[in-house]
Amino acid sequence: MQSSPIAHQRVLNYAYVDTDTLYQDFQIPQQGYNEKQVEESRIAYGRNVLSGRASDTVLYRLRRAFVNPFTVILFVLAAVSFLTDVVLASNFSRNITTSVIILCMLLLSGIVRFIQELRAKRIADHLTRMVSSTVQVLRNGRWSEISSEELVVGDKVRLFAGDRIPADIRLTQSKDLFVSQSVLTGESAILEKNAGTLADGQARSYSDYYNLAFMGSSVTGGTGEGIVLAVGKDTVYGGFSSMESHLKNGFDRGANSIAWVLIRFMAVLIPVIFIACGLTKGDWLSAFLFALSVAVGLTPEMLPMVINACLAKGSAAMGKKQTVVKNINAMQGFGSMDVLCVDKTGTLTGDQISLEYYMDVLGNECQHALDLAYLNSLYHTGVQSHLDDAILRYREMPGQESHYRELEQRHPKLDELPFDHERRFASVLVRGGTENLLIIKGSVDEVCRKCSHIEYRGERHPIDAHGRDSVHAIVDEMLEDGMKVLAVAYKPLNQETISQDDENGLTLLGYLAFFDAPKQSAAAAIEKLHRLHVDVRVLTGDNQDVAVSICRRLGIDTMHTLTGAELELLTDNEIPVKLEHTTVFSELSPKQKVQVVRTLRANGHTVGFLGDGMNDLPAIVESDVGISVDTAAETVKEVADVVLLKKDLNVLEEGIKEGRRAFANVSKYIRITASSNFGNIFSVVIASAFLPFFPMTALQILLLNLLYDLLCLVLPWDKVDESICAKPLEWSGKTLGRFMRFFGPISSVFDIITFAYLFFVLCPAVCGGTFASLSGSGEQARFIILFQTGWFLESMWTQVLILHLLRTQKVPLLQSRPSRPVMVVTLLGTAVFTLLTFTPMGEWIGLTALPPVYFVFLAVTVFFYLLWVTLAKRWYIRRYHELL
């Protein structure tokens, strides 16, 4: 749901009218709204709650847990089974077991996932509550503090330094009010706000609306009062927050791809089996019902449950590594991700600016420049930036406390002119000895423009062309090293107040060089990501020289860089090629970040985006895996798939590994089970064409798959070869059909051998004659049961043991051991289900005990089957360079 264009325009229109009109239009009394007016406004304009947060309900999580392509397929098959086994069956042969089993699997699968979804929602809600804010509001003639969610349009509010602006507000009063709108615009500049009225056509961007304070912005200095113009989804911030991706995520696309592969196999096999059985048996209704039952057998019944178990286990493992996986489908995205887009500040750097150098105009250390800069940072009440914090930390250094205390006593503050966006420097007047001292600190270009002299080693010299060149030579060198540089200048004055006219004829004293050092862990983390074949692309709004310097220090290739301005000049044909090879993007707008992510996705990459500001929100929505941090803007955390409790690329590296492990185990199950089921169904087609009876009942086929699937429930705890986790894995059905066609018929060869042995050797020997020669229906029934039991056991043994062969590219048991749960459960399960044929329960499902000689034949057959599959696996890997 998007913010209302009418409400949006109302906010902007009130920037051009005076405050008296504002009070009149909203009927605001001097004592503020009363309770009746508050309720009327809430009904008219809505609550101050963002729509994205309201949409993340338990019902939404429940739907996401139970509705996906795999569950839809199985639900349809359960309905088909109910139709064939209950509705169309005779009273004697009705059996609802198949439908019940499938529905139970769907229910268990959905419950597993729903529990994980609720756990993620609880953690996400907790993070949201941690950033909830309060605001001072005038109501009933009293100023009181209320939750920002209780605000309504027309409320009169107060703003203080450190506040997060809770709604879109038209200012009515201000005093040295400075606001950061970086969460909206992506610009790091601090803007001065006041209660003036804009002239027509004066504002072209959000930054130009100096009398409006937008929701989500933060007050960095000063105070203000204003009237609420828009709340919740009607604010500019709310318009961003309600953005929804129009694209399906990678998990859904991959799931659909796999589902369609299975559907296509069903579409081919059902008619073939129907015709073969109808022609050989003569009973076309039974043939149709059996063909539908076989379709049920082709689909891995436990597919949703195994997938959800794998994803939930990976999500739980990430929870122990300072990561909240809000959408467990994102585990697949982690596994497939081959491009990670990150910002610079706080991710590659420590987001902790330090003062590296304080120097004179020629680059020599200068304590005087630091002292004057300290006084400027200490006394000005406007913008207290991270650069000021870095300067003020010098008083905490050993042995410096007394020096700076004495400096403050010697030079008390007299007056100031705060920082503003146009001047780009702050001015402070302090008391001196014989003369007072005007101290200016700010942008190098702007400060130097105000200077007429330079000071070097206590002597003042007029600035000439050579002097200005020297300034730029020193400053440019530091900028290339990735530093931020401020200039310090001063001017003696006899007065005790200052105006902007006094900010001329200054003496340039020196420079301060600041550095946001790269994180010690970042370089190692990037190297690990590269080893995992994940390319790191830096997308920042910062200066190109700074971005390139930081990236170079961290080992990121800076050969190909691009600025936002250069991106605008590229043609539509040039953009995909240029962006494919560019690693560092600087001076980008939020819109351009989206363009980069969209282009990379269009180029075939699975893209993750790590961001924490509202300016990153569109790119997070556009990416395959949206990643945020717990200190990010509230709405950013709401739309992100993953929330990091620590802004560290090492955490992402662990997430990628967990995602690939989860993906690999899901892929094992899908490929091996689907190919085994296809082999069984292929065998049924061949057997149905020659045998005078069905080689296995529909219930036995379903039970065989179910028993195998139950054993596969331990796959989420299986070990995964490091070679599989070393590269991104594609989640799609693109190669599933090839895998099924290659390995499925191999089992059919040994099935046919087993059919021949059972039909021509074992069953005649036990029953006393061939099937055709047996006269009574009871003797023929015993022949059929023996045959079906023999194939049931052979299918089960080959299916379970093939799991060990195809779970790894290496030699199983020797080079790659499965986890202990997989080993124990599969071997124990095979033994238990073999013994099942000797029990009364086996008789209930149409199985019987077989003579010992059959197990000798079975052991020999399985041995040669495993040998053949091993050789085939080696050829397959050499041919296609992959297995899973």
Quick one: tokens of 744?
A: 């499925």
| Type and span of the H or E element at 127 | helix 97-130
484 burial type by CB count under 10 A (0-12 exposed, 13-18 middle, 19+ buried): buried
Q: What count of Cα atoms within 13 Å lies in the side-chain half-sphere of residue 468?
A: 11
Amino acid present at 26: F
> 799 and 722 share a domain?
yes
Of 517, 549, 578, the position where a domain reaches its end is: 517
H/E element, 428:
strand 425-430
Element (H, E) at 273: helix 250-281
Same domain, yes or no: 578 and 630: yes
C-alpha 554/C-alpha 715 separation (Å) is: 38
Mean pLDDT value across residues 199-227: 81
In this structure, the answer to whether residues 487 and 446 fall within a common structural domain is yes
Whose tokens are 């001072």? That residue is 136
Residues 638, 719, single domain; the answer is: no
Q: What is the CATH number of the domain that holds 875?
A: 1.20.1110.10
State the catalytic residues.
343
Q: Comparing C-alpha atoms, which of 749, 748, 739, 741 is closest to residue 668?
A: 739
Q: 112-146, pLDDT tens digit by residue?
A: 667 766 765 665 555 455 444 688 999 999 999 88
Let me know if residue 316 belongs to a domain. Answer: yes
Round to the nearest angstrom and report the end-to-end CA distance of the chain.
41
pLDDT recorded at residue 369: 92
Q: Are residues 799 and 823 in the same domain?
A: yes
pLDDT of amino acid 246:
41
Residue 821 shares a structural domain with residue 706 = yes
Domain assignment present for 156? no
Tokens at 600, concatenated = 């990379």
pLDDT at 225 over 90: yes
pLDDT band at 73 (very low <50, low <70, confident <90, very high): low
For residues 204 and 210, what is the distance between their CA atoms, to the nearest angstrom? 11
pLDDT band at 339 (very low <50, low <70, confident <90, very high): very high
Q: What is the pLDDT of residue 112?
A: 67
pLDDT confidence band for 248 (50 / 70 / 90): very low
Give the C-alpha separation, 831 to 835, whole Å: 6
Of the listed ranges 376-380, 524-528, 711-715, 746-750, the one predicted with least confidence: 711-715
Summarised one tens digit per residue, pLDDT across range 12-59 is 888 888 888 889 989 999 899 999 999 999 998 888 876 544 456 677
Structural domain containing residue 480: 352-517
**pLDDT reading at 240 higher than 60:** no
- Tell me how far apart the alpha carbons of residues 191 and 203 are, in angstroms, rounded to a whole number: 14
Distances (CA, A) of 158 to 46, 106, 163, 196, 342: 21, 54, 10, 17, 36
Residue with tokens 């009327």: 40
Mean pLDDT over the full length of the chain: 80
For residue 554, being part of any structural domain is answered with yes
Q: Is 839 in the same domain as 704?
A: yes
Which residues, at least 6 apart from 24, have a Cβ–Cβ distance to it below 8 Å? Answer: none
Q: What pLDDT is attached to residue 2?
A: 42
Least confident among 463-477, 572-586, 803-817: 463-477
- CB of 621 closer than 8 Å to CB of 52: no
Contact present, 358 and 394 (Cβ < 8 Å): no
Residue 136 belongs to some domain of the structure:
no
DSSP state of 847: -
Helix 284-298 crosses helix 250-281 at what angle (to 10 degrees)? 150
Distance CA 796, CA 137 (A): 72
Q: What percent of the chain has pLDDT over 70?
A: 83
How far are the Cα atoms of 257, 302, 303, 699, 732 from residue 713, in angstroms, in the given order?
23, 8, 10, 21, 21
Q: In this structure, are residues 335 and 642 in contact, taking their beta carbons and an 8 Å threshold?
A: no
Q: Is the dihedral of CA 519, 523, 524, 526 positive or negative?
A: positive
| Rg, the chain, Cα only | 36
Note whether residue 534 is domain-resident. yes
For residue range 402-461, list pLDDT tens digits in order: 888 899 989 999 988 877 656 778 899 998 878 899 999 988 888 988 898 888 888 888
**One domain for residues 728 and 641:** no
Helices (H) and strands (E) in the chain, counts: 34, 23
In a domain, 154, yes or no: no
* Residue 466 is assigned to a structural domain of this protein: yes
Helix%, strand%, coil% for the chain, nearest 5: 55, 15, 30
Question: Does 389 share its domain with 506?
Answer: yes
**pLDDT tens figures, 471-485:** 777 787 787 777 888
H or E segment and range at residue 612: none
- Does one domain contain both 511 and 528? no
Q: Domain total for the chain?
A: 3
Structure-token match 């540089």, residue found: 485
Indicate whether 638 and 660 sit together in one domain.
no
pTM of the model: 0.65
Flag whether pLDDT at 263 surpasses 60. yes
Least confident of 11-20, 293-302, 565-574: 293-302
Residue bearing tokens 């010697």: 410
How many angstroms separate the CA atoms of 63 and 200, rounded? 50
Higher pLDDT, 864 or 471: 864
DSSP 700-742: HHHHHHHHHHHHHTTGGGS---HHHHTS----SSTTHHHHHHH
Q: Does residue 745 form part of some domain?
A: yes
**Cα–Cα distance for residue pair 429/426, rounded to 1 Å:** 10
834 pLDDT exceeds 70? Answer: yes
Tell me the β-bridge partners of 460: 455
Of 18-32, 117-131, 659-673, 768-782, minimum mean pLDDT range: 117-131
Q: What is the mean pLDDT of residues 153-163?
A: 88
Any idea what the CATH number is for the domain that residue 634 is in? Answer: 3.40.50.1000
Closest CA to 512 of 484, 531, 491, 532: 484
What CATH number did the domain enclosing 427 receive? 3.40.1110.10
- Which range of 262-266, 332-336, 397-401, 756-760 scores highest in mean pLDDT? It is 756-760
Q: At 83, which amino acid appears?
A: L
Selection from 644, 882, 720, 709 nearest residue 313 by Cα: 720
Distance of CA 314 to the CA centre of its chain: 14
| DSSP 8-class letter at 282 | S
How would you class 416 by CB atoms within 10 Å of its CB: exposed for 0-12, middle for 13-18, buried for 19 or more? buried
- Burial (0-12, 13-18, 19+ Cβ within 10 Å), 377: buried
Q: Which of 478, 497, 517 is the last residue of a domain?
A: 517
| CB-based contact 536:525 (threshold 8 Å) | no
Which of 646, 673, 707 is at the close of a domain?
Answer: 646
Structure tokens at 275: 């015709």
Structure tokens at 676: 């085994």
What pLDDT score was predicted for residue 289?
A: 67
679 and 541 part of one domain: no
The encoded tokens of residue 573 equal: 């044909």
CA atoms within 13 A of residue 403's CA, in its CB half-sphere = 14
